[in-house]
């Protein structure tokens, strides 16, 4: 699916609706992820070889792309789907990484990076969880000084981690 440039409102009446065959459109997903990713210190957005990614100091902490007709094949195999299915790739560490990589759908464990987790996005996606995953991913790859400056939920109790 082609990523449309410009701002698309969720549920708009201008043809930029939220779903195609039960899946959110890529432009809508990018618009939803943008404020999360760009709200982090020194983060920037760029087009990736496929999809869109958010980076800090040259390291990717979130990447959203579309699997369609089995392409890209490495993602289709890892996610166990030929699509169409948008996916979000994030980094994780510690016990959370183990839990996510073993959780099963909508999560999947790509074989190319041991600290990466994929999430199949659909109309049931919990966007509060997505925001937490993106922030945590940023903290995994960002320099320690930047990671310490980010407020993030603590385990289970949602307290701020002073890191």
Q: Tell me what the mean pLDDT of segment 72-91 comes to.
A: 96
Nearest-5° angle of CA 49, CA 126, CA 12? Answer: 75
Mean pLDDT, all residues of the chain: 84
Show me where the domains of the chain are located.
Answer: 19-148
Domain 19-148 coded CATH 3.40.640.10 = no
Three-class SS of residue 80? coil
**pLDDT tens, 1-40?**
233 322 222 233 333 333 334 456 899 999 999 999 999 9
Distance CA(88)–CA(127), nearest Å, equals: 12
A 10 A CB-CB count for 56 gives 21
């Amino acid at each position: 699916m082609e990523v449309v440039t410009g701002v698309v409102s969720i549920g708009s009446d201008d043809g930029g609706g939220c779903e195609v065959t039960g899946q959110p459109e890529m432009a809508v997903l990018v618009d939803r992820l943008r404020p999360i990713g760009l709200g982090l210190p020194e983060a920037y957005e760029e087009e990736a070889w496929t999809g869109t990614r958010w980076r800090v100091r040259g390291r990717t902490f979130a990447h959203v792309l579309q699997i369609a007709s089995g392409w890209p094949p490495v993602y289709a195999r890892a996610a166990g789907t030929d699509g169409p299915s948008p996916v979000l790739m994030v980094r994780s560490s510690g016990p959370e990484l183990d839990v996510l990589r073993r959780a099963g759908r909508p999560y999947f464990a790509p074989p190319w990076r041991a600290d990466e987790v994929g999430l199949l996005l659909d109309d049931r996606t919990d966007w509060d969880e997505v925001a937490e995953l993106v922030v945590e991913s940023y903290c995994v790859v960002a320099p320690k000084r930047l990671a310490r400056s980010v407020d993030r939920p603590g385990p289970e109790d949602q307290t701020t981690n002073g890191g």
